[in-house]
Amino acid sequence: MTPPTLDFWFEFASSYSYLAVMRIEPLAREAGVTIRWRPFLLGPVFLSLGWNDSPFNIYPPKGRYMWRDLARLATRYGLPFQVPSKFPRSGLLAARVALLGAEAPWIGDFARAMMHANFADDRDITDPAVIRALLAGLGLPADALLAEATGEANKLALRRQTEKATELGLFGAPSFVTPDGELFWGNDRLEDALAWVRQPGG
Amino acid sequence: MTPPTLDFWFEFASSYSYLAVMRIEPLAREAGVTIRWRPFLLGPVFLSLGWNDSPFNIYPPKGRYMWRDLARLATRYGLPFQVPSKFPRSGLLAARVALLGAEAPWIGDFARAMMHANFADDRDITDPAVIRALLAGLGLPADALLAEATGEANKLALRRQTEKATELGLFGAPSFVTPDGELFWGNDRLEDALAWVRQPGG
């Protein structure tokens, strides 16, 4: 029997995606669930809702709360965290690379390295040099991957993937979609989504 | 030693407040925490964020998700639930009554009865007759309470309470505020808020 799967929709710019990216692999392993990494861009999704920026910036009380909530959760999970000096940082290039490697064995390591750079080390993940260095640090052919990631075919694939997110009803990240079509939104629904995959209906 | 307290900000129109209202008393008892009931109105808070309706109505994908999420959570908690035929229903009159009884021994029973009427029985909680019947069912002097609830002093008190919510940085409901000023937002943070009260810093 093939193991059950869970589609994991995430965005490198998204603060709560940071928590989910760092947590998902051990939890999925424990649950016996295979994760299908689905990088996408929140920008177009937010635009379709009428937001031209992160709602955490558009609605300051939500933003202030989010950073405090994130700090508390990072402490609980034992994750390093600092409020990035710029938020959100576009996850476009990182998502293009991640889409290219979505089925590759290095996707988890790459996603964690990028998230750590943004939300723990306050590094500029929009800088190709930062991404190149992280890829190289994983022993990957950084230049070849960046070239392919920014090729027309892959750009188009990420655009399609983001359209697919909207079609699935996603409106934020992280989001989890089960094989039977249940949508779970938010880092705090990760455990629920894994449990649903193992036993639909809970 | 007086038991530690947790301020519980809720709104009768709010779907996730339904879950928290139904769950909070047994959890607080178990945690040894005294709940201070803080009914307020989300309408003015949302207006200050630029929303003239529930964000679940303004952003349809969020609304669709919310109802599904609510149904799943109600199942998990063993709570009855049906999508109300009208949403949101103004919690104004119910909140006025609840504010009047916020320190009274009947506040929990009243809040649960109102929430059950709205989210399980699909009854019109804006109808004074519905509220009167529920109060009478609790053995309370319904007419006298409704008269006092709609008196000028109590109307003003609810307005002040709602202003206080905004001053505290609240932007949604349910919200929980600890004695040391930590804000937790959402039914899914109820357990976290109780744990924080017992041991600040988690």
Averaged pLDDT, B175-180: 97
Backbone angles phi, psi at B175, to 5 degrees: -135, 150
What integer best gives the mean pLDDT of chain B?
Answer: 97
Under the banding of pLDDT at 50, 70 and 90, the label for residue B200 is confident
Tell me the pTM: 0.96
Spatial CA neighbour of B110 closest among B88, B93, B122 = B93
Under the banding of pLDDT at 50, 70 and 90, the label for residue A170 is very high
Q: Say whether B68 and A183 touch across the interface (CB within 8 A).
A: yes
CA distance B87 to chain A (A): 20
Residue A123 DSSP code: -
Residue B51 contacts A, CB cutoff 8 Å: no
Domain count across chain A: 1
Return the pLDDT at B1.
66
Residue B188 contacts A, CB cutoff 8 Å: yes
Residue B181 contacts A, CB cutoff 8 Å: no
pLDDT tens by residue, B84-109: 999 999 999 999 999 999 999 999 99
Residue B90 DSSP code: P
* Residue A171: CB atoms within 10 Å: 23
Give the HSE-up count for residue A147: Cα atoms under 13 Å, Cβ half-sphere.
Answer: 5
Spatial CA neighbour of A40 closest among A173, A151, A145 = A173
Interface test with A, best of B46, B170, B183 (most A CBs within 10 A): B183
pLDDT tens by residue, A10-38: 999 999 999 999 999 999 999 999 999 99
Q: What is the CATH number for A122?
A: 3.40.30.10
Residue B2 contacts A, CB cutoff 8 Å: no
Q: Which amino acid, residue A54? A: S
Residues of the domain holding A103: 5-198
> Could you write out the DSSP letters of every residue in B131-142?
HHHHHHHTT--H
Complex ipTM, two decimals? Answer: 0.94
